[in-house]
Amino acid sequence: MTCRLLLPAVAALAAVACAGAPSRPPPPAPGTGGTAVPHDEPHARHGNPPFYDVDGQRYVVLASAAGYVERGVASWYGPDFHGGRTATGETYDMNAMSGAHPTLPLPTWVRVTNLQNGRSAVVRLNDRGPFRKNRIIDLSHAAAEQLDMIREGTAMVEVRSLSAAGPAAATAPRAPVGRYFAQAGAFADEGNALRLVARLREAGVGDVTIVEARVDGRRLFRVRAGPVASVADFDVLVERLRQAGIESARLALD
């Protein structure tokens, strides 16, 4: 769970602490949860600045969510924020199928799939966050419950943008199979990949491999460390990569 921000439509934002936040309105009536139905919406007047800064890190808001797919770790936020304001100015209802994302335009509809159990949820993003390393999305209590991640608090997920007309809006993916890795980099030049592997091994990061793939007809060499068995293991590995100079490690599924 993370500190929420009310983001005005300005070019830059300063970090806002939770302490001293204004009083909240009465909590909303409980929502119905279940499966939300994506529909086209214009970008909100609030919550979509070109960029903003939190705790010394700059987040650039994407102009469009079209084609967006990302894998990483999800967290959730609930009672402590219920009835507060989201970045768009709406009232946060922990029983609605909603969520927070640092860079996607608001609102955006996404399908979030728990890669550890195959469960998925259609979520409307209307808030900013999470502002914690290794976390790519913050979900409402209802969405987290549908993904069966309440007890653990986090889960390895895939976030995929949806459109009202897209077939993915109505079709849930099958349960995934495979292993989880931290991807340290991807290169068109195999030599660059080999140099990164050597650098990581010299820094004490074990189990580093190169996976060759074809993307749009081109060869790509992906440098991965792992595998990992849990979110906790992933966090530890990402921290080791950070100490080795890799700031942008991402979750990869074999």
Residues 200-231 pLDDT 10s: 999 999 899 999 988 888 999 999 999 998 99
Is the Cβ–Cβ distance between 100 and 128 less than 8 Å?
Answer: yes
Burial of 136 (0-12, 13-18, 19+ CB in 10 A): buried
Does the domain made of 180-253 have the CATH classification 3.30.1050.10?
no
For the segment 50-75, the average pLDDT, to the nearest whole number, is: 92
| pLDDT band, very low/low/confident/very high, at 35 (cuts 50, 70, 90) | low
Return the minimum-mean-pLDDT range out of 31-40, 58-67, 189-198, 233-242: 31-40
Average pLDDT score, the chain: 83
Q: What are phi and psi of 57, to 5 degrees?
A: -110, 135
Query: Cβ distance 97 to 124 under 8 Å?
Result: yes
Question: Domain spans of the chain?
Answer: 51-169, 180-253
DSSP symbol at 62? P
pLDDT above 60 (res 11): no
Amino acid at 132: R
Q: Are 106 and 60 in contact (CB under 8 A)?
A: no
Please provide the CATH number assigned to the domain covering 51-169. Answer: 2.40.40.10
Categorize the per-residue pLDDT at 33 as very low, low, confident or very high, splitting at 50, 70 and 90. very low
**pLDDT for res 55:** 87
Token pair recorded at residue 64 = 């469009």
Distance, in Å, from the CA atom of 77 to the CA atom of 60, rounded to the nearest integer, reads 23
Question: C-alpha 223: how far from its chain's center?
Answer: 21
pTM (two decimals): 0.77
CA distance 146 to 157: 13
As a whole number, mean pLDDT of residues 96-113 equals 96
- Kindly state the average pLDDT of the residues 120-130: 95
